[in-house]
Amino acid sequence: MSDRVSSASLRGIEIIAGLIHYPGFLDRPAQERLRDALREAVRAAPLFTPRMPRTGKPFTVRMTNCGPLGWVSDEAGYRYQPTHPVTGAPWPPIPKIALAAWAELAPEAPPPEACLVNFYDGSARMGLHQDRDEEEFSAPVLSLSLGDSCLFRVGGAKRSDKTRSFDLNSGDALILGGPARLAFHGVDRIRGGSSTLLEGGGRINLTLRRVTLDPRRA
């Protein structure tokens, strides 16, 4: 099976400096292959409901991870760890298609170590936040979307910065790099029924991150 991820030419739209949107980066067959790989990953590492630090309030998204490190959140705080918080097992490997997307869209960066998989049902959302639990900020964050569309919001490096919103659709890739690496971002709404990719609906988002310092720079 081919690891080619995109049949389209690489046409990215720079929405703000460092934030590049690649609509339809994964074609439908690639989306289906990634969906199927994730189904297998979820069998090994079931979705769990993360909780807010301190308060323990549950997130509305469910999550799992692939890769040597996974991002988790509970009363003890946000962190990366090599094992699933419920089963204690190591995370399954990052799907090949996602690694190929990283190689294509982040060719300068060291390999990703974490692939956070968020599952949104029709009423889930994600508040504005920064991805800043990593040691390495020179590598971008790569996001891949599958299933129902969402209304995505992005601002600047300060929470009070002006934000703008746009849709992320199934197959879209998004790079948060350079000056946008620490941009606040979140998901305001899922557009239920907008995709046929996932049986039962909903949206999956993958974010690939480099967590530890690039050994070439350390």
Which residues are at the interface with ligand SIN (CB under 6 A)?
116, 118, 126, 143, 152, 168, 185, 187, 205, 207
Q: Check residue 131 for interaction with Mn ion (CB under 5 A).
A: yes
DSSP 139: S
Q: Which of the listed partners (Mn ion, ligand SIN, none) does 33 bind, with a CB threshold of 5 to 8 Å by partner kind?
A: none
Measured at CB, which residue is nearest to Mn ion?
Answer: 131
Q: By CB neighbour count within 10 A (0-12 exposed, 13-18 middle, 19+ buried), where does 76 fall? A: exposed
Q: Check residue 172 for interaction with Mn ion (CB under 5 A).
A: no
- Output 8 or 47, the one with its CB closest to Mn ion: 47
Q: Check residue 148 for interaction with Mn ion (CB under 5 A).
A: no
Q: How far is CA 187 from the centre of its chain?
A: 12
Q: Could you tell me which residues are beta bridge partners of residue 51?
A: 58
- Output 131 or 134, the one with its CB closest to Mn ion: 131
Residue with structure tokens 């029709």?
122
What is the distance between the alpha carbons of residues 113 and 164, in angstroms, rounded to a whole number?
29
CB of 129 to Mn ion, least distance (A): 6
- Output 99 or 126, the one with its CB closest to Mn ion: 126
CB of 116 to Mn ion, least distance (A): 8
Measured at CB, which residue is nearest to ligand SIN?
Answer: 205
- Output 143 or 195, the one with its CB closest to ligand SIN: 143
What is the distance between the alpha carbons of residues 191 and 9, in angstroms, rounded to a whole number?
27
Q: How many CB atoms lie within 10 A of CB 187?
A: 23
Q: Check residue 134 for interaction with Mn ion (CB under 5 A).
A: no
Q: Which of the listed partners (ligand SIN, Mn ion, none) does 126 bind, with a CB threshold of 5 to 8 Å by partner kind?
A: ligand SIN
CB 192 within 8 A of CB 201: yes
Question: By rule CB under 5 A, what count of residues binds Mn ion?
Answer: 1
CB of 128 to ligand SIN, least distance (A): 10
Largest CA distance in the chain: 47
What is the distance between the alpha carbons of residues 187 and 171, in angstroms, rounded to a whole number?
16
> Which residues contact Mn ion by CB under 5 A?
131
